[in-house]
Amino acid sequence: MALLQISEPGMSAAPHQHKLAIGIDLGTTNSLVATVRSGMSTVLQDQHGHALLPSIVHYGEAQQVIVGHEAKVKQNADPVNTIASVKRLMGRSLKDIVDKAHIPYRFVSPPSDDASQGMVLLDTRAGLKSPVEISAEILKTLKNRAQAALGGELTGAVITVPAYFDDAQRQATKDAARLAGLHVLRLLNEPTAAAVAYGLDNAAEGVYVIYDLGGGTFDVSILHLSKGIFEVLATNGDSALGGDDFDHRIYCWILDQIRDANPSKQPLSEKDTRLLLTKARQAKEWLTENEEAQITCKLSSAYTVDVTLTAAAFVELTENLVRKTLSPMRKAMRDASLDLTDIKGVVLVGGATRMPHVRQAVQDFFQQAPLTNLDPDKVVAIGAAIQANVLAGNRSGDDLLLLDVTPLSLGLETMGGLVEKVIPRNSTLPVARAQDFTTFKDGQTAMSIHVLQGERDLVSACRSLARFELRGIPPMAAGAARIRVTFQVDADGLLSVSAREETKGVEASISVKPSYGLNEDAIIDMLKSSFSEAESDKKARALAEAKVDAMGIISAIHIALEQDGHLLNAVEKEAISKHIKALETALAGEQSRAIHDATAALNTATEAFAAKRMDESVSRALAGKNIDEVNL
């Protein structure tokens, strides 16, 4: 009699082969871990029944590290050593952090040779800590929770990140996971994870918008869902906008009330700042279901705060923050070439979407009620767990295909300070593109490769990612060498670039790990300026290209005159010299048409010289040979 093994659909037929994989939502305010058990995705709870882990780390006495709910209790009493919202500091330098006075931490800029490459450090009781180290403590706690619940070692984890996290922030997240002892199966964009959860659990098909307003970041993604295929059509967002900013507006409002009543009051202490931020968050959450919130507390200065914030006043205070989420939605719709009638549904993700005026703004924009039947706090972790289950090999990937996109164009610098785009924005990931380039000068044996990110045509208007050099190029005439530059972006959105000289085979490459210090508004500004400055960029590119061509021609003629100037008489040399000077004068100006005209005139003036050089070259080749030796 044969023994049959029974398994869940899509699961391994051998239970002992089931690999333990988890999905982690590493959030600004709260973090979660989820897994797939018996074919169903579920969020794992701690021993007290909590699913949400507050993303807070406390450094206590005797090197004690406390994470989560216990750390949250320490916030008001010891704000300097209790770090919250660390996600907003990932991949950021000291100069990138605004409102440092209202954040109760002791920030330190690392030395220039520090391995964190400029990422801000926090001075705590346990010493200097980077956001990577602090995030690693949160991930370690989630890892331990998962291993305790699943009863074994983990194969790996899918960790979610905001779609608009740049390379530095993504790399910082992977570094934190490595410190926590986690094998990262993939970094998954948070909106895509939410779509996975909705697409599988609700069998949704069509074009959906994922509106993700978390504690520290905002993302909007437009996806096409069809039979398990999740294609990201466009993405946009703001990596420095989230629920924390709504808290901060209430905090500033409370400060105004204090100053009105006590104009001579001294600056608040770190404890007072943290206490008021905590009260502001509590008021925001209370106003989700109530018309007014009473804010009362006693500060260390012995002043007692006792104010009332109405829901209407809160809406007025934060109206422009809600409006800031509408612009990225418009841009994403335009990038995807869609109208409102094309949108089948809008999915809300993130705890901040519980605010009534946020939901109303989304409903008014898309002219339909958003979907809220999955917990906005848990939907990202659920989607990550489903993807982790596939990547671990517990389920066939044939029925789940994720097609994410890169948010900004990638390219490199060419002569004249111009950017040649190799991978355009909204390209499906993973992606690899190659393009051939050549040398500018005769005998050039090295090339500097400058990798850039952005939408503008000028290097000065884009973000520098990395630089490296390709050496050992065989000396050839300008334009003869063929350098193939290949860009590869993996499924995590991380970039590597390689350059190869095709004749000799010399190669150079770099995995792009840019400086962690990128301005929070840089990505939004890049997209904004790419539209507003399109015409000026076009003119600047035309001017730069004209100058590069002109300089190349002048250089080539000077070399020709040195080699074969004897073929010309004085009058002919003087004529060419006049045209060269005219072109050099045009180059000093900013008119591309004048440069083009002067270049054309110089080309015409040197046509006879070029013919004489050709005749001389043929004569030298035939010298000393009889007619029978010439191969016609």
Active-site annotation, residues:
25, 87, 190, 212
Pair type for strands 345-349 and 30-37: unpaired
β-bridge pairing 121-124 and 127-129: antiparallel
CA distance 457 to 539: 10
Half-sphere exposure of 157 (CA within 13 A, CB side): 30
376 within 8 A of 3, measured Cβ to Cβ: no
Residue 475 tokens read as 């000396």
Query: Among candidates 239, 242, 233, which has minimal Cα distance to 209?
Result: 233
Q: For residues 196 and 202, give the distance between their C-alpha atoms in angstroms, rounded to a whole number.
A: 10
Q: Which residues of 210-245 are buried (b: 16+ CB within 10 A; e: fewer)?
A: bbbbbbbbbbbbbbbbeebebbbbbbbbbbbbbbbb
Structure tokens at 184: 């990262």
Q: What are the backbone dihedrals phi and psi of residue 317, each rounded to the nearest 5 degrees, phi first?
A: -65, -35
Q: From CA 128, how far away is CA 501, in angstroms rounded?
A: 45
Alpha-carbon distances, residue 258 vs 279, 305, 355 (angstroms): 14, 7, 26
Task: Return the axis-axis angle of helices 607-622 and 570-587, rounded to nearest 10°.
Answer: 130
Which strands sit side by side in the sheet containing 82-84, from one edge to the other?
Answer: 65-67, 56-59, 82-84
Say if CB 193 and CB 219 are below 8 A apart: no
Q: Give the position of tokens 């109530």.
A: 290
What's 62's DSSP letter? Answer: G
Task: For the chain, count helices (H), then strands (E).
Answer: 14, 27
Residue with tokens 């530059």: 485
- Residue matched to tokens 């489903």: 386
Distance in angstroms (rounded) separating the CA atoms of residues 96 and 204? 40
- CB half-sphere exposure, 442, CA atoms < 13 A: 11
Other Cβ atoms within 10 Å of 385 Cβ, number: 31
At 49, the amino acid letter reads G
**Backbone φ/ψ region at 416: left (φ over 0), alpha (ψ -120 to 50), beta:** left
> What length does the chain have?
632
* Rounded Cα gap, residues 83 and 105, in angstroms: 8
Of 213, 275, 280, the closest CA to residue 28 belongs to: 213
The DSSP output letter for 503 is T
Is 493 in contact with 470 (CB distance < 8 Å)?
no
